[in-house]
């Protein structure tokens, strides 16, 4: 079996999945993937939704995305074992070593910090790559286009400033 | 805590459309597509931030272009409805900046991160812990964050801006994105 699906086939399938999710025979709603995070945080830290208005706001969407996430974990896991054969416990991506540094500690600290920023950012904007880019822009929503533009510019500036442009040859 | 975890399924079961199984299926297919196309790899997202890999924007723009046209037709035929997010300028701009910085450094977004964890990436698991604390922080200080987000300026879309030419505006938008996805030169960063 081919170990990798080409981008254009992935794009076609992703569009089909999005349309199925939107349709009434599917879920009648867009795909999203960042609302479940505060929802899970509320459960993990045992916060009472009565005291935290935000938990009430994300109650339904958070649960929906939590269940979708379970499916995504299963789908990703099985594909990585049987199809792409890429399942492996690793601490550092190869390109981090080439374009940043070879310190595991540095990668883990930056992962934690960037994961934190990612969720704060998504919650401020009300969506992420799934909710704003995929679902939002497919509806022609202006809010999603503003978010998409800002993310694109910031992503490229950060990529330019944070990483080295030439790869280290150390292996 | 267990009863709250189990209540997740009850909440989803009560939604007007889509059983728990359908939602699981949607997630499953999402996980397969993301894993099979390898777009959850650090090399794909951080690689795009370095402009050394263009698979993510090509796939994303193609999916949006196709879905925008398909969704418009479905809404017109009564098979679906729009769910538009409001324009909250402070939230979109400040949020977009933090999100862009986080995405470039982490090399993941909230949808691709879990798929990477399912592939055994421990650094992503640490990042997810950071994300959970982000979610906690946001929930605790929601009233402060609301001041940054600002007032909603409504929910404009291409359809409300180009009234009278809704179908045409979506068609131009969709085809434009499909063309962009094709003309972006294909570059791939080695993930070995």
Residue A4 to residue B58, Cβ atoms within 8 A:
no
CB pairs under 8 A between A and B: 506
Cα separation, B104 vs A162, in Å, equals 8
- Going by C-alpha positions, the residue among A3, A132, A57, A161 that lies closest to residue B105 is A161
Provide ipTM, 2 decimals: 0.95
Q: Could you give phi then psi for residue B157, rounded to 5 degrees?
A: -140, 175
Helices (H), chain B: 2-13, 20-36, 42-49, 55-77, 89-106, 112-117, 122-140, 142-149, 158-161, 166-183
pLDDT level of residue A139 (50, 70, 90 thresholds)? very high
Q: What is the pLDDT of residue B7?
A: 87
Q: Which segments of chain B have a pLDDT < 70?
A: none
Top residue of B18, B50, B99 to mutate, by most chain A CBs within 10 Å, is B99
Compare CB distances from B51 to A111, A148, A156 and report the shortest one's residue.
Answer: A156
pLDDT at A169 over 70: no
Q: Torsion over CA of A7, A32, A65 and B12, rounded to 10 degrees?
A: -120
Q: Could you give phi then psi for residue B37, rounded to 5 degrees?
A: -85, -10
Cα separation, B161 vs B151, in Å, equals 20
Q: What is the pLDDT of residue A171?
A: 47
Q: Are B124 and B116 in contact (CB under 8 A)?
A: yes
* B144, closest residue in chain A (CA to CA): A124
Residue-averaged pLDDT of chain A: 94
Q: What is the pLDDT of residue A1?
A: 72
B72: which residues sit within 8 A by CB, 6+ positions away? A140, B166, B167, B170, B174
How many angstroms separate the Cα of B101 from the Cα of each of A111, A146, B108, B182? Answer: 12, 16, 11, 26
**Chain B from 123 to 182: CB within 8 A of any A CB:** 123-124, 126-140, 142, 145, 148-149, 155-159, 161, 169-170, 173, 181
Q: What DSSP string describes B14-48?
A: TSSS--HHHHHHHHHHHHHHHHHTTTTSHHHHHHH
Give pTM, 2 decimals: 0.95
pLDDT at A170 over 80: no
Compare CB distances from A71 to B23, B63, B127 and report the shortest one's residue.
Answer: B23
Q: In chain B, which residues have their Cβ closer than 8 Å to the Cβ of A28?
A: 15-18, 80-81
Q: What is the pLDDT of residue A168?
A: 66
Residue A120 to residue B137, Cβ atoms within 8 A:
yes
How do residues A61-119 score in pLDDT, each as one tens digit?
999 999 999 999 999 999 999 999 999 999 999 999 999 999 999 999 999 999 999 99
Q: Are B54 and B185 in contact (CB under 8 A)?
A: yes
Q: What is the pLDDT of residue A115?
A: 97
């Amino acid at each position: 079996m081919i170990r990798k699906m080409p981008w254009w086939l992935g794009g076609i399938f992703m569009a089909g999945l999005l349309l199925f999710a939107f349709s009434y025979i599917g879920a009648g709603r867009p795909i999203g993937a960042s609302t479940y995070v505060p929802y899970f945080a509320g459960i993990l830290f045992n916060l009472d939704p009565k005291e935290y208005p935000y938990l009430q706001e994300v109650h339904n969407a958070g649960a929906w995305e939590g269940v979708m996430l379970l499916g995504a974990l299963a789908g990703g896991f099985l594909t990585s074992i049987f199809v792409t054969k890429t399942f492996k416990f690793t601490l550092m991506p190869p390109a981090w070593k080439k374009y940043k540094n070879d310190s595991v500690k540095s990668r883990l600290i930056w992962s934690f910090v960037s994961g934190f920023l990612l969720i704060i950012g998504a919650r401020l904007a009300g969506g992420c790559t799934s909710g704003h880019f995929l679902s939002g822009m497919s509806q022609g929503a202006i809010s999603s286009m503003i978010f998409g533009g800002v993310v694109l510019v910031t992503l490229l500036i950060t990529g330019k400033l944070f990483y080295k442009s030439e790869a280290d040859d150390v292996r | 805590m267990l009863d709250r975890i189990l209540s997740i399924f009850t909440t989803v079961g009560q939604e007007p459309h889509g059983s728990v199984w359908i939602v699981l299926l949607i997630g499953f297919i999402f996980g397969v597509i993301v894993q099979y196309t390898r777009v959850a790899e650090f090399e794909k997202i951080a690689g795009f931030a370095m402009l050394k890999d263009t698979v993510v924007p090509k796939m994303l723009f193609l999916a949006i272009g196709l879905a925008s046209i398909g969704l418009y037709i479905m809404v017109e035929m009564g098979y679906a409805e729009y769910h538009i997010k409001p324009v909250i300028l402070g939230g979109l701009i400040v949020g977009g900046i933090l999100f862009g910085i986080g995405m470039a450094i982490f090399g993941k977004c909230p949808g691709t991160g879990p798929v990477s964890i399912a592939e055994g990436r421990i650094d992503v698991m640490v990042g997810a812990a950071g994300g959970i604390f982000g979610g906690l922080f946001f929930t605790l200080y929601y009233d402060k964050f609301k001041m940054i987000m600002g007032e909603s300026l409504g929910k404009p879309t291409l359809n409300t801006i180009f009234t009278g030419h809704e179908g045409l505006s979506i068609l131009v938008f969709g085809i434009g994105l499909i063309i962009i996805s094709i003309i972006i030169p294909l570059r791939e960063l080695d993930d070995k």
